[in-house]
Amino acid sequence: MRKKSTAGDSPPSSFERTTIFFTDEQDMAFLKDDAIFSDTFNSRRKAVDELAKRYKQRAIPVIREIIDACSTLKGQEDNDVFIRYCQMFIEELLESSKTASRRNNNSNSKSTD
C-alpha cells in the first residue's frame, strides 16, 4: 500500500526564491574579478562601470587594483585600451569629488553670510 501524500510533502520541483545579500566588500571583490578575468572587453568595462556607479569614490582603490592586475596579465582582449579606460574612470571620479567638494564649500559659505 502506498503512503498518501499530505500538504507538507511538496515535490522537490517546487522552487522557492532565495535572495542573497553581499556586503559592499564582497560585491566589490566580485566586480573586480569580473573586470580582471572576463573574456570580453565589454564585460570587463561593464564591471568597472558598475563599480564606479555603485561605490563612487570608494571604487578608486579597487580600480587601481584592477589596473595593477591587468598590467601583469597576458592574453586579455585589448588590455592596453582597458587599462587606459580604467585610468580615465579614476580621473573622472576624482574630478567629480573635487566638483562636489567645491559645491559643498560654496553652499556652506553662502549659508553663513
pLDDT digits (tens, 9 = 90+) for 85-106: 999 999 999 998 888 777 777 7
> Which of the pair, 6 or 29, is modelled with greater confidence?
29
Q: What does the pLDDT read at residue 113?
A: 47
- Give mean pLDDT, residues 59-77: 88
pLDDT at residue 110 tops 70: no
CA–CA distance, 30 with 83 (Å, rounded to integer): 18
In DSSP notation, 43-97 reads: HHHHHHHHHHHHHGGGGHHHHHHHHHHHHH--S-TTHHHHHHHHHHHHHHHHHHH
* Structural domain count of the chain: 1
Query: In 3D, which of 70, 60, 61 has the Cα closest to residue 33?
Result: 70
pLDDT at residue 75 tops 80: no
pLDDT of residue 74: 77
Q: What would the grid cell of residue 3 be? A: 503512503
C-alpha cell at 12: 522537490
Is residue 78 one of the residues assigned to a domain? yes
In a domain, 111, yes or no: no
pLDDT band of 66, cuts 50, 70, 90: very high
Q: Is residue 9 part of a domain?
A: no
Residue 42 has pLDDT above 90, yes or no: yes
Q: What is the pLDDT of residue 106?
A: 72
On whether residue 16 sits in a domain, the answer given is no
Residue 109 lies in a domain: no
Average pLDDT, the chain: 82
Q: What mean pLDDT do residues 3-18 have?
A: 58
Whether residue 30 lies inside any domain: the answer is yes
On whether residue 6 sits in a domain, the answer given is no
The answer on pLDDT for 112 being more than 60 is: no
> Residue 31: which domain range?
24-104
